[in-house]
Amino acid sequence: MEDPDRTILITGATSGLGRAVAESLAPRGGRLILHGRDPARLAELVADLQPHQASIDVVTADLSDLSQVDEMAEKVFELTDQLNVLVNNAGLGKGATDTRETSQDGHELRLAINHLAPFALTFRLLPLLETGAPSRIVNVASGAQEPLDFDDPHITEGYTGNRAYAQSKFAMVATGFELARRLPAEVITVNSLHPATLMPTRMVREGYGHTVDDLETGVNAVLRLIEAAALDDVTGQYFSIQEPAAAHQQAYDPDIQQRLWDLTEELTGIQF
């Protein structure tokens, strides 16, 4: 899917994996819309990428606040009349401590940023993705996945950072499967991936203090889902690095997917 005229939106583009993916794409031309929550860091990123061929636009939003997600989507509509790729990369790791936090909207923070925000943003941007068809949604998930407790989705009891992170990524993957089922693959594909294990990013250093895979491994995995012609009609799949893989078994359960979809609509106020 290499196309010099394509428009790609990457969330969480000012650091770590998102920035590295943007740096890899910029020399290839086309248009990049890069998201971050810090205007100064976005300006620094634009300055670094300006020598390259890609046209660069930026959007600012704190994804823990669903009203800012809506405002970001409106800004994207002002910037472009089509999207070819949406990379839902922005995320929050397990954290340095097991301190439970909540979002601006009162949701458990990791669920809010890692799942509710990309779900809401994806929904808002579907008209642009349909115009840019055939287009792709790439969800940067994780091999750490744990089913939600539907009686306590915000983990008011038994909270740990690991559990919160794993539940949020499970939610992203499972609803990604459901979204793929609802969208025609010839128009929009939806795939999720575990890009690499413990890459050298701030999120990993904060939560674990050591690394396993290098950043290039993750970048190449994401680029494959963005560009590989072999994946033109592939949708509703989960990849570990560059290989098809099995997500958590319960992520494939239609009843779990539907309950999670309904909960997500309730928490975001979105009706598909």
Is the torsion defined by CA of 122, 126, 131, 137 positive or negative?
positive
- Maximum Cα interatomic distance, the chain, rounded to a whole number of Å: 51
**What average pLDDT values come out for the chain (272 residues) when binned by 10 residues?**
78 95 95 97 95 93 98 98 98 92 97 98 98 98 96 97 97 98 98 80 58 79 97 97 97 98 98 87
**What's the token pair of residue 95?**
């954290």
What's the rounded Cα separation, in Å, for the pair 268 and 113? 12
pTM of the model: 0.94
Half-sphere exposure of residue 236, counting CA atoms within 13 Å on the CB side?
14
Half-sphere exposure of residue 118, counting CA atoms within 13 Å on the CB side?
31
Q: What domains sit in the chain, N to C, each tagged with a CATH number?
A: 7-268 (3.40.50.720)
What's the rounded Cα separation, in Å, for the pair 272 and 260? 13
- Which distant-in-sequence residues (6+ apart) come within 8 Å of 193 by Cβ? 138, 139, 140, 141, 221, 222, 225, 238, 239, 240, 241
Q: Is 208 a catalytic residue?
A: no
Given the residues 165, 208, 238, 252, the one annotated as active site:
165
